[in-house]
Structure 1
Amino acid sequence: MAIKFYAPAWGNTLPFDRFCQNVKAAGYDGVEMALPFEVDEKNTILDSLAKHGLEFIGQYWQSHETDLDEHAANYEKYLRHLIEARPLFINCQTGKDFFTFEQNQRLFELADRITAETGVRITHETHRGKALFAAHITQNYLQKLPGIRLALDISHWCNVHESLLENQSEAVQLAIQHTDHIHSRVGHPEGPQVNDPRAPEWADALDAHLNWWDQVVATHRENKTALTVTTEFGPAPYLPTLAYTQMPIANQWEINVFMMNLLKERY
């Protein structure tokens, strides 16, 4: 079983080619990111990825529209735009938490049709504000739409349920069985991201996430299937800042590299 690791472009402030150089030097296999529609800018990004031998995971997060028809049209537009770049796969923050089951189902089924047409796999991220925002809600989707494959960012659920999910074990276990991709952010009951997973005060939260990821890895080892991980600790305001100065209290890049190395050594 292979595990590959990807850096998030989210939060990068360097010229993209320099960013890619750092990503490669750190030991990542690629980058997860959205792509601009401006042709020259998009091509510059793709050229830099290719130059440094980095794979590309497409990322869709722009699910803003409240009108379902408009939402679905833009969803398809963004997905097809990413597919043109021939990504390894696409990770989607699909739907909205206030859409009905049937409304979000339309989007999941649209993604399935696009995958069938193009051969590009699409995972759906467990993310606040989106269709899969909570453990029990996701459980319902997976039971009724068992073809859904997940990008498990379980840090969001810790925040939504204000716990380390001790009372959500059945939903978590089902999600683990449907997981193809991990976002290795560490959340806690009061937020989606601890300030620094290296700090001893977050040991319980880190251990809880490692336990969930251990189970995902074990499932893929048993099934002899590939697993991908994006170390998606985010920049401010995900990364807490000091009052008044707004200076981040830790370094996003260092934390993400720490998470990659921790998981590489563990697995």
Structure 2
Amino acid sequence: MSIVASGASALPSAPDGKGVGPLLRGWREQRRVSQLELALRAGSSARHISFIETGRSRPSEEMVLRLAEHLEVPVRERNALLLAAGYAPHYPETPLDDPAMDALREGMERLIQGYEPYPALVVDAAYNVLAANRGIVMLLDGVPEALLAPPLNAMRLTLHPQGMAPRIRNHRAWRDHLLAQMDRQIALRRSEPLRALYEEVAAYPVPDPTPEDQPLDAAPYFALPMRIEHDGRILSFISSISTFNTPMDVTVSELAIETFLPADPATAKYLQNLRS
């Protein structure tokens, strides 16, 4: 499954009725950082931070970017802060199908294909699947065509009652893990589309608990596995998510590569035999 563009988003606009000061204060409070601590990090003063937050002082473009960096504001929201302060966006948002992204696309495709026979995929900030290898396609056996129609969504495919959910033996534990992961992302990005997705998948019916829906501290693994039935066998996987360091583009900042490592020798042997 080759990498596809999920559709370029419009550049962010400054929220109605909000200047950069209240927005920065909101990010600072969310990160639980005092004005003094932020000032020390940014090489400023608590008085200046207070003046910025109350609108008594207009920060320079450099100061907006510096404060955003120390508050770990996501790249997309940094552009929104700049717009609210009266500056142009600093970070481009290049569509994945743009020729400038050729090297990135080819690199990610080689990476997930090289991971075979183990499953791997690329998702965007809303968990839309941009690329997947044959290991992922194997796990989607039996999923109805309606759920496989673009745009594919990893959370929907996993938790929908007609998707992979009925075959995930520790569904409740895995569901709790995924919802907690989404909740952390919502807090980080303040994304309304992601919140809508969370509310959708959280409302899906939950199967009756099984003996494998055990607490994490009771599981005989070094991390919570996804245990899924495939062709009469139970396969166990540990999930890992990778992102890009210091992204300078909104699109790149929101990409994530998720890989699934076999959690036991039986799963590894089964997948290797499929490959041979």
TM-score (normalised: structure 1): 0.28
TM-score (normalised: structure 2): 0.28
